[in-house]
């Protein structure tokens, strides 16, 4: 079809040949002499257009760069790399995610398995050692464990600036593995040669029995070193190495979905490790007389710790080698939230200024002190009931298994309790459990004599009953902490204003957490040095525990009276926001509907116009063909 000025005036422009060098660029074989265009005979010869003399003769325009042919373009697009297809799914989870989560879960299981074995073993070593007792624990936590933890973290920060992440992981975990292996096969068998027993006896005679705990640190220094390394395994390998690696390779969506399962898996590891400790502790029954059964049990448990330590390192290497694609992984720079670094004075001002924050701080401090007051006293009675290391370790294995089962159950019930009974009831359960079991535990210790005839009817002594009640107190208090206390504490921050929320949490982290952890140990040290022994200070520790737990319950009641109205206001604000978003969505939806109707009507009108414009085009060639005939 002809159009424009040329069609109206039947103008035929002369053929102008393109330069040969331009056609070569297009990859076309051309000859210099190009034949002229010949028309059929029945058509008249077109007369050339004669332009006025003052108009210059048009020159040939340069050609555009050649576009690739259609067939070549299609082949090029077919050969281009396609984006990676989404990985398949297994049990509703992408296989790419499972390749990360399954090794992380196995790694977490091995780390916590080792931690439970080490935690039970460290108590057996320092409590049942000759010339030592449970009185060593408060001094050991304050004057040995805390300084070494601070020194280790300073060294870790220096190494983090020099080494890569993988090298840093291996540099930290391999010394732990080497130490625990060396302790089981070298340090413990050589304990009589490396412990300064004579020097410790002279110091104790000069200082008096009140200093049994500090002198015992020197007497059994290798056991104390094991105690500190076991504590550092929990704080360094779990908190720093594992969670740092998990946060590095998982996304936020994966973390929300699978991190709670890690918490449940931790309790499963607790159950299995407790059974393992129980098995190795009972090996003494199958050995002959004169054989150090605890040394053999220790070698077996440390062998498992070393083996699982290499498994942890192997999983870490395999995930970095085969799962993480470092070349394709995008580098995401996450902005760190600016947390206010409050000094001690500023933290105290924040605590004093707000009643809400004061009550929340009381919860944190009271829990830390209460746990330490009961736990050390309970371990002293546990040694009196089970003086042998194997018997003590066997009981601790049962204790770890029971703790894992109770915590697993409470974590499942915690959501139900919070949802059905509310924040106040959930927050009251932990101090109530501590109060009831604490009163029963100290009553059996202080008033065990009159209760002896009653206990014998059940086949128990007051000491054994106190050990069982103390075990129940530790089991239920720890399970309630993980399932109820920690969630309630974090929920209490939600209704606060943003400024007070940030400053209050910072103040509690600076003042209350260290005070709660070390407060119990400091109180026990003062009591032991003042009254001569832990047994003499037991009545006073029971009275202090009663006062602290009652203050805790009062703080819970006060905080609940403030939290509930604030939570209702927060809920109303969330409902208002949801209504506003819903209203906006409706307005936008109605606007989009009218717009879609307008676009549909316009498209139908355009379609009719196109059909009308296509009809003459289809008939024009036919008419021109009939005229030519």
H or E element, residue 363: helix 355-385
3-state secondary structure of 81: coil
**What percent of the chain has a predicted confidence (pLDDT) above 70?**
73
Residue 89: in which H helix or E strand, if any?
strand 89-90
Cα 386 from Cα 466, distance rounded (Å)? 13
User: 340 with 502: CB under 8 angstroms?
Assistant: yes
The whole-chain average pLDDT of the chain stands at 78
3-state secondary structure 128-175: HCCCCCCCHHHHHHHHHHHHHHHHHHHHHHHHHHHCCHHHHHHHHHHH
- Report d(CA 517, CA 372) in Å as an integer: 8
Q: Counting beta carbons within 10 angstroms of the beta carbon of residue 410, is it exposed (0 to 12), middle (13 to 18) or buried (19 or more)?
A: buried
| Three-state secondary structure call for residue 496 | coil
Contact criterion met (CB below 8 Å) for 231 and 145: yes
Residue with tokens 């300064």: 196
Which comes out higher in pLDDT, residue 31 or 227?
Answer: 227
Place of tokens 């720079």: 333
Question: Coil, strand, or helix at residue 385?
Answer: helix
Q: Which of 352-361, 475-484, 582-591 has the lowest mean pLDDT?
A: 582-591
Give the residue from 228, 28, 242, 213 showing the smallest Cα distance to 138: 213
The three-point CA angle 437-267-315 to 5° equals 150
* Cα–Cα distance for residue pair 305/173, rounded to 1 Å: 12
Report, in this order, helix, strand and coil percent for the chain, each rounded to 5: 75, 0, 20
Q: Are strands 93-94 and 89-90 parallel, antiparallel or unpaired?
A: antiparallel
Place 331 in a pLDDT band, splitting at 50, 70 and 90.
very low
pLDDT in tens, 172-196: 999 999 999 999 999 999 999 999 9
For residue 433, count other CB atoms closer than 10 A to its CB: 20
Burial letters 116-145, b for 16+ CB under 10 A, else e: bbbbbbbbbbbbbbeebbbbbbbbbbbebb
Q: Are residues 116 and 363 in contact, defined by beta-carbon separation less than 8 angstroms?
A: no
- 326 or 484: which leads in pLDDT: 484
Q: Which residue has the tokens 């929320």?
A: 501
Taking the C-alpha atoms of residue 629 and residue 626, their distance in angstroms, rounded to an integer, is: 5
What pLDDT, on the 0 to 100 scale, is given for residue 163?
92
Query: Could you tell me if 224 and 143 are in contact, meaning their C-beta atoms sit under 8 angstroms apart?
Result: no
Q: For the residues 401-428, what does the mean pLDDT come to?
A: 88
Place of tokens 């009641």: 557
pLDDT of res. 64: 44
> Does 294 or 486 have the greater pLDDT score?
294
Q: How many C-beta atoms lie closer than 10 Å to residue 176's C-beta? A: 22
Inter-CA distances, 512 with 347, 348, 517, 556, 558, Å: 10, 10, 8, 16, 18
CA distance 143 to 149: 11
Cα 521 to Cα 516: distance, rounded to the nearest angstrom: 9
Report yes or no: 470 and 445 within 8 Å, Cβ to Cβ: no
Burial class of residue 161 in the structure, from the number of CB atoms within 10 Å of its CB (0-12 exposed, 13-18 middle, 19+ buried): exposed
Q: Which one is predicted more confidently, 346 or 182?
A: 182
End-to-end CA distance of the chain: 18
Does 611 or 239 have the greater pLDDT score?
Answer: 239
DSSP assignment of 546-573? HHHHHHHHHHHHHHHHHHHHHHHHHHHH
HSE, side-chain direction, 13 A CA sphere, residue 245: 27
pLDDT for 38 equals 56
Between 301 and 95, the higher pLDDT residue: 301
Name the band, by pLDDT with cuts 50, 70 and 90, for residue 627: very low
Cβ partners under 8 Å of residue 31, min gap 6: none
> Are the C-beta atoms of residues 305 and 237 closer than 8 Å to each other?
no
> Average pLDDT of 253-268?
81
pLDDT score for 374: 87
Least confident of 292-301, 431-440, 537-546, 583-592: 583-592
Report how far apart, in Å, the C-alpha atoms of 556 and of each of 367, 376, 489, 552, 569 are: 12, 26, 10, 6, 20
Q: What is the pLDDT of residue 511?
A: 73
Phi, psi of 90 (to 5 degrees): -135, 120
The pLDDT of 321-339, averaged and rounded, is 56
pLDDT value of residue 431: 93
The structure tokens listed for 196 are 């300064």
At residue 81, the pLDDT reads 42
In the predicted structure, residue 491 carries a pLDDT above the cut 70: yes
- pLDDT score for 92: 64
From 515, 469, 490, 487, select the one nearest 429 (Cα to Cα): 487
Those residues with Cβ within 8 angstroms of residue 488's Cβ, 6 or more apart along the chain or in another chain: 418, 423, 426, 427
Beta strands in 437-512, from DSSP E residues, in sequence order:
none
Model pLDDT, residue 45: 57
- How many helices and strands in the chain, by DSSP H and E? 24, 2
Supply the pLDDT for residue 59. Answer: 46
CA distance 31 to 33: 6
Question: Average of pLDDT values for 580-596?
Answer: 60
**Residue 13's pLDDT band (boundaries 50, 70, 90)?**
very low
3-state secondary structure string across 385-408: HCCCHHHHHHHHHHHHHHHHHHHH
What pLDDT does residue 455 have?
Answer: 83
Q: In the predicted model, what is the mean pLDDT of residues 314-319?
A: 94
The alpha helices in 10-69, defined as continuous H runs, are 20-25
Q: For position 217, what pLDDT does the model report?
A: 95
Quote the pLDDT of residue 26.
Answer: 45
Query: Is the distance from CB of 537 to CB of 529 less than 8 angstroms?
Result: no
Residue positions counted in the chain:
629
pLDDT value of position 44: 56
pLDDT of residue 87: 55
How many CA atoms within 13 Å lie on the side-chain side of 380? Answer: 24
pLDDT digit string, tens, across residues 98-138? 888 899 999 999 999 999 999 999 999 999 999 999 999 99
């Amino acid at each position: 079809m002809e159009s424009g000025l040329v069609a109206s005036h039947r103008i035929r422009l002369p053929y102008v040949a393109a330069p040969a060098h331009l056609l070569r660029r297009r990859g076309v074989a051309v000859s210099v002499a190009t034949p002229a265009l010949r028309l059929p005979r029945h058509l008249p010869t077109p007369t050339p257009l004669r332009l006025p003399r003052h108009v210059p003769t048009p020159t040939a325009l340069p050609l555009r760069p050649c576009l690739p042919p259609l067939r070549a373009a299609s082949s090029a697009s077919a050969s281009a790399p396609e984006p990676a297809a989404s990985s398949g799914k297994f049990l509703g989870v992408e296989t790419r995610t499972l390749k990360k989560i399954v090794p992380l879960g196995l790694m977490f299981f091995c780390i916590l398995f080792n931690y439970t074995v080490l935690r039970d073993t460290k108590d057996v070593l320092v409590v049942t050692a000759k010339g030592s007792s449970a009185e060593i624990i408060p001094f050991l936590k304050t004057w040995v464990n805390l300084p070494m933890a601070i020194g280790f973290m300073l060294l870790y920060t220096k190494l983090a600036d020099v080494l890569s992440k993988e090298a840093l992981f291996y540099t930290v975990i391999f010394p732990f593995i080497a130490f625990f292996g060396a302790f089981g096969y070298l340090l413990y068998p050589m304990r009589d040669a490396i412990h300064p027993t004579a020097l410790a006896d002279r110091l104790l005679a000069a200082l008096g029995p009140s200093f049994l705990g500090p002198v015992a640190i020197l007497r059994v220094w290798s056991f104390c070193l094991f105690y500190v390394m076991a504590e550092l395994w929990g704080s360094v390998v779990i908190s720093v190495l594992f969670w740092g690696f998990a946060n590095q390779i998982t996304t936020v969506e994966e973390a929300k979905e699978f991190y709670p399962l890690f918490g449940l898996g931790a309790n499963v590891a607790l159950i299995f490790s407790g059974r393992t400790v129980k098995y190795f502790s009972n090996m003494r029954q199958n050995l002959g007389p004169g054989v150090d059964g605890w040394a053999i049990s220790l070698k077996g448990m440390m062998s498992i710790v070393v083996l699982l330590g290499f498994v942890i390192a192997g999983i870490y290497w395999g995930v970095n080698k085969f799962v993480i694609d470092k070349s394709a992984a995008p580098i995401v720079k996450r902005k760190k939230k600016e947390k206010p670094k409050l000094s001690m004075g500023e933290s105290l001002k924040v605590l004093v200024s707000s009643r809400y924050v004061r009550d929340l701080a009381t919860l944190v401090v009271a829990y830390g002190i209460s746990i330490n007051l009961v736990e050390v006293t309970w371990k002293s009675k546990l040694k009196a009931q089970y003086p042998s290391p194997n018997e003590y370790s066997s009981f601790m294995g049962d204790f770890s298994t029971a703790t894992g089962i109770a915590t697993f159950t409470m974590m499942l019930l915690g959501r139900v309790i919070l949802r059905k009974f509310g924040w106040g009831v959930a927050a009251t359960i932990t101090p109530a459990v501590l109060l009831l079991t604490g009163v029963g535990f100290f009553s059996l210790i202080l008033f065990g004599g009159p209760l002896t005839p009653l206990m014998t009817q059940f086949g128990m002594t007051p000491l054994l009953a106190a050990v069982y009640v103390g075990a129940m107190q530790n089991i239920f208090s720890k399970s309630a902490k993980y399932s109820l206390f920690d969630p309630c504490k974090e929920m209490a921050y939600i209704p606060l204003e943003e400024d007070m929320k940030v400053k209050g949490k910072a103040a509690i982290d600076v003042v209350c957490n260290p005070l709660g952890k070390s407060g119990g140990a400091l109180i026990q040290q003062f009591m032991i040095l003042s009254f001569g022994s832990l047994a003499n200070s037991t009545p006073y520790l029971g009275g202090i525990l009663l006062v602290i737990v009652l203050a805790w319950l009062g703080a819970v009641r006060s905080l609940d009276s403030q939290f509930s109205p604030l939570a209702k206001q927060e809920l109303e604000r969330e409902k208002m926001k949801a209504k506003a978003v819903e209203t906006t969505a409706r307005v936008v939806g109605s606007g989009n509907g009218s717009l879609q109707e307008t676009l549909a009507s316009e498209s139908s009108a355009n379609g009719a116009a196109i059909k009308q414009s296509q009809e003459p085009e289809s008939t024009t060639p036919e008419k021109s063909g009939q005229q030519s005939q």
